[in-house]
Amino acid sequence: MSNPNKDVVDVLNDLIEYSKDGEKGFRESADDVKNPELKAFFGQRAGECANAAAELQSEVRRLGGDPETSTSVSGDLHRGWVNFKSMLTGKDEKAVLNEVERGEDHALKAYKEAREKLVKLGRAATDTAYALVEKQLQGVQRNHDQVKALRDSARAGS
């Protein structure tokens, strides 16, 4: 038996991977910095990404699909690059913030594309999956803006 929600499940599973990527990336970034406020900020954001993934997984199950449970290959490659670059820069906060912002750029783009795909699939603002993606998109935008402000502040301080 086929699942009539397969396309929506695919969109949500892609976002689960991005959320898992964000969680792992923020956790690793928290480990890489010495500034306690930045550590706390990254730790909080990692928790928010974990919650976002759990919400998406729950929605995938509700739609009759099998939720994604892992990170993406591209996210794994990005973290490998960040770790390599961090070794070269001595885990400089500005460098870490630059890479975190780059990750948030990708997440923001992925959420905007997911929202567009859901609209093309006929999912409207009253649809549960659409509403969840829209809510999480606002959180990703907030994270992105906060990381950018921290990065700009770190650049100004150097």
Tens of pLDDT along 54-94? 999 999 999 999 998 876 555 555 555 555 555 555 667 88
Domain hosting residue 117, numbered range: 6-156
* Residue 79 domain flag: yes
What's this model's pTM, rounded to 2 decimal places?
A: 0.86
Structure confidence at residue 136 (pLDDT) = 97
Give the Cα separation of 140 and 104 in Å (integer).
7
Give the model's pLDDT for residue 129: 96
Whether residue 64 is contained in a domain is answered as: yes
Which segments of the chain have a pLDDT < 50?
1
Tell me whether residue 124 is in a domain: yes
Residue 46 has what pLDDT? 95
Domain assignment present for residue 100? The answer is yes
Q: Let me know if residue 85 belongs to a domain.
A: yes
Q: Is the dihedral of CA 63, 68, 74, 80 positive or negative?
A: positive
In this structure, which long-range contacts are made by residues 75-81, counting pairs with CB atoms below 8 Å and at least 24 apart in sequence?
75/17, 75/18, 75/20, 75/21, 75/24, 75/25, 75/103, 76/21, 78/21, 78/25, 78/102, 78/103, 78/106, 79/21, 79/24, 79/25, 79/28
pLDDT for position 96:
86
In a domain, 75, yes or no: yes
Could you tell me if residue 73 is inside a domain? Answer: yes
pLDDT score at 1: 40
Q: Is residue 1 included in any domain, yes or no?
A: no
Residue 68 Cα to chain centre, angstroms = 14
pLDDT, position 19: 92
Question: CATH number of the domain that 139 lies in?
Answer: 1.20.1260.10
Number of domains in the chain: 1
Q: In this predicted structure, what is the pLDDT of residue 40? A: 96
**Which pLDDT does position 90 carry in this prediction?**
60
